[in-house]
Each structure stands twice: as structure tokens, then as C-alpha cells.
Structure 1
Amino acid sequence: MCGYIVKKKNLYHCKCSTKACNNNKSARPLNDLFAQILQTFKVDEAKDMVKAINKQAAAKFNQMTAGDRDDYHNLQGQHTEIQKKINRLEKRYIEKEIGGELYHKYHAKYKEEKREIEKNLTKLSRQVSNLDEGVGTAVKFTLELPLKWVSADYNTRKRIQYLLFPEGIRYSKKTDEC
């Protein structure tokens, strides 16, 4: 559904763009329906429950990124090794053990390998400096989700809706339900 404003009444409405649907409804009741749906996502504020959710979310994050950490450490080792090769190559060139042609050939090769390793390290560096704080922020957000929806502007509402329903949400005109 697309949103628009009725200028005479200064009210927002939503209209379905599908020809067969032809649904046109005030945005206020639709927003109220969505706020009711958000109540199902709300987490109880019981301190024990919040602590358990924080602990479980942090554990799940660590579990999901465990393989990435191993890969990251392997790449760090490769980065150290390639840097040693570059240093050794430069030393051999300075001490005239190898010529300029050989030096430039291998220097370019090692530099490219180093760039590739650094690119992969950047991809895998999703390390969270304070995981507990990040999880706490997310849980706090869920505690306040319905309130956030009611007080949010249009763009924030779109982001909340997409966060919870990335493939969209439907409204039934017949049953007046989302």
C-alpha cells in the first residue's frame, strides 16, 4: 500500500496499488493494527527474563561468528607471513642478493597477495567491541517497540516494519486484519 495525504482534511491514507484490490483506508487504524502486532514482539520487563535474553543473544552471536573468528585468525597469520616475505625480499634487494627485475616481479606479487588478505580481513572483522552493550540496546528496543512505533516518524516506521517483516506484511480488507 502506498501512503498519501488528503489535503482538505490533513489526514494520511493508504491505498493499494493493485487494480483488483482497490483498497483505500485511513492510515490511523492501520497504524493501530500494526501497533497491536508489535505487542506480540514485546519482551516482558521481568529482570530475570531480560538477563536470560541478553545472555542467550550473546551466546547465539558468538556461536554464529565462531567460524569467522577462526578464519580471521588464519588470515592474520597469513598476513604476518606475507609481510615477512616482503621484508625479506626488500632486504635481499638492498643487499644486492637479487636484481631489480626479480625484486619488482615478486614485490608486486606479494603486495597483491597482501591486499587480498587485508580485504578478507576487513570482511571478517565483525568483531563487536562491547557485545553485551549491543545486545542490551537491542533488548531495550524490543521492550519499547510499541511505544517507538507510536512516536516514530514515517522513515523510522518503515525501518521497524522492514526489520520485523523483510518480505512485507499484508492487510485484509475483508477481515480488517494484518
Structure 2
Amino acid sequence: MYKAQSADIEKTYEELEDDFSLFKKVPEGVYIRLRTKLAKERTEIHKTISEPGVESSNLKTYFRQGITLSTQLPTNWASRPMLAKEELQKLVFPEGVTYNREKELFLTSKVNTIFQPIPRLNCISESDKNKQGSISADLSNWVGTIGF
């Protein structure tokens, strides 16, 4: 995205140079003002491009690792020692977990971004609840198969 913007600015800059120096279509005052504006935009885009961050090629890798980890959370929690559980808890809840003694509830102020969609994926939407008239129709697939 930024590379395309940078290319557009470079093209506009070259056209402005040509219009001023070759064709004399642009007055000098307008040329200076536009050249300054384009130079500023070019600098900002180059600065943005050079800033470190998550590259889109790595984004898929991070996303896959997050999904893999999230599908293994219950197993990892049950099979790990206390120190590993604390690290896992800090990963999922970066700002920690508090306990409300009056209501006997655990509270979290922030959930790691990769895990935020999980509760929405586990709930049943209103349209699904109304399809068969009751929630029990949708929950029937949660019951195990009948066996001997």
C-alpha cells in the first residue's frame, strides 16, 4: 500500500518537475509550494515504510501460531506445571487476572488480541437460536453418540 503511494508521489513529483522546467505550465510560486508538499509526503511515506513492525508475510505465521496455541490451551493448562501456567496466563491476559471475593469472580481487563475472537466463535447467534425454535436443537450436536 505504502509502496504504491510512494510510486504515485514520485510520478507526480516528476510530472511537476517537467511541467515547471520543460513546459513552463506551472508558475514558480505554485511549483515551490507543490514541490514542498510532495517532498513532505514522500518523507512521511519513506519513514512509515522503514519503521519496524509486523510484516504482512509474517502476519499469517503469527496468526497460525496463535490459532494452534488457542486450540491447545485446555490441554496445555492441564498438563503444565505452575510456572508454565503463569506464563500461559500472562500470554492470554497480559494485564493479569484479579479476583472479586464478594462475587467470587475472576476478572480481566485485557485479553491478548489473538484470543479476543474466541468467545464470539463459541456463542450461538440469535438467528441460530430462532432457526428451530429453541436452543436445544443447536446444542444437540454437543451430545456424544449413542453406543453400546
Higher RCO by CA contacts (8 Å cutoff, separation 6 or greater): 1
Tell me the TM-score range normalised by the shorter chain: 0.3 to 0.5
TM-score, normalised via structure 2 length:
0.40
TM-score, normalised via structure 1 length:
0.35
